[in-house]
Amino acid sequence: MEPALQLRELASSIRRGDRVALAKGITLVENDSASAPKLLEQMGTPGRAFVVGITGPPGTGKSSLVDRLIEAYRKKGLRVGVIAVDPSSPLTGGALLGDRIRMAGHAGDKGVFIRSMASRGWSGGLSRATSQAIRLMDAAGFDLILLETVGIGQSDIEVVGVSHAVLVVLMPGLGDDIQVSKAGLMEVGDVYVVNKADIEGADLMVVNLLSLFRGTPRSPPVLKASALSGEGIDKLQDAVERIRSPFLAGSPELRLKSIRGMIIETARGAAMKKLAVVSESRAEKLANQVMGGKTTIERAAARLKV
Ligand SMILES: Nc1nc2c(ncn2[C@@H]2O[C@H](COP(=O)(O)OP(=O)(O)O)[C@@H](O)[C@H]2O)c(=O)[nH]1
Ligand SMILES: [Mg+2]
């Protein structure tokens, strides 16, 4: 636990945009340190930075597109923060270094801050830490935050709740429409990107996606791009800008949506932590009662309430 004075200094350093302080703050929220809530309370109201969630199946080119977007937005003079949520290996327990290496071209640029966070398979923890890291970056004065998530599973869908705009990244030959609809990706995207347009099958993928949306109330833009050649990046940025412009003009809608997501993730993280503590101390006793036929799993679970 950080003493109160040190914590205040850390908070004001973060708000001044100090990179070392920001990195330290993110570590505190990632480790769910006892001082993290006090630090977060000193960050002020979030909503300065525009947060873009980038999701989609592994290998579709999300990190490569993030790299292109960093480049495009740096040209416009925006300060860009990046959070890359890596699938953590149960063997190494650590994050893959691929994303960091892929984006390493921006390493010397003070207007870019890149942070990888390991997804530790604990969904409540991951989305809480991610949404809190976004708050710290927002307070540190970044204009744009790019949040890359692993694109599989529930934690991913939760994470997009704090984003102002969500890009779903796909590529040709993904088993066409099946993967997309199955993974719940059809519901979350504001913009759909068929990346790797330099390889065969991109047009077919676009047609398939458009037909998936036909007959639904939604008709998000479906774009073709290639992070490799740079084709279509300008159109992708335009699509993001169309969502960002009412945000910049002060429209409260997206800010409210994101803050709502942050409240939910913080509460969910706290509830899961409490549950973990409670279950350790009480579940064994309840298990004995269930095994002895004295109660049911449902009743035992209800008694485990946080
Ligand atoms: N041909 C082609 N390959 C790409 C493109 N974008 C990314 N890749 C490659 O696809 C692989 C996965 O890219 P990555 O950005 O790590 O995907 P992620 O897992 O979605 O973050 C890498 O080998 C990239 O070099 C593209 O537009 N065209
Ligand atoms: Mg990646």
Domain residue ranges in the chain:
1-42, 45-251
- Please indicate whether residue 267 or residue 38 has the higher confidence score (pLDDT): 38
CA dist list (Å): 161 to 11, 119, 164, 258? 25, 17, 8, 6
Class of domain 45-251: alpha beta
225 Cα to the center of ligand 2, angstroms:
16
191 Cα to the center of ligand 2, angstroms:
18
Prediction pTM value: 0.89
Question: For residues 62 and 82, what is the distance between their CA atoms, to the nearest angstrom?
Answer: 12
Q: Return the ligand 1 atom nearest residue 98 CA.
A: 16
Question: For residues 241 and 75, what is the distance between their CA atoms, to the nearest angstrom?
Answer: 14
Closest C-alpha to 57, from 175, 229, 231, 190: 175
Kindly state the tokens that stand for 244: 């960002």
Q: In this predicted model, what pLDDT tens digit does every residue of 49-98 receive, in sequence order?
A: 999 999 888 889 999 999 999 999 999 999 999 999 866 544 433 444 55
Q: Return the ligand 1 atom nearest residue 58 CA.
A: 19
Evaluate if residue 246 carries a pLDDT over 80.
Answer: yes
Residues whose beta carbon lies within 6 Å of some atom of ligand 1: 58-64, 98, 102, 195-196, 198-199, 226-228
Whose CA is closest to atom 26 on ligand 1? Answer: 196
Q: Which ligand is nearest to the CA of 167?
A: 1
Q: Return the ligand 1 atom nearest residue 60 CA.
A: 20
296 Cα to the center of ligand 1, angstroms:
50
64 Cα to the center of ligand 1, angstroms:
6
Asked if 149 contacts 133 with a C-beta cutoff of 8 angstroms, the reply is no
42 Cα to the center of ligand 1, angstroms:
39
Give the other-Cβ count within 10 Å of 33's Cβ.
Answer: 15
* Average pLDDT for 222-237: 98
Percent of the chain with pLDDT over 70: 82
Q: In this predicted model, what pLDDT tens digit does every residue of 134-166 receive, in sequence order?
A: 999 999 999 999 999 876 655 566 667 889 999
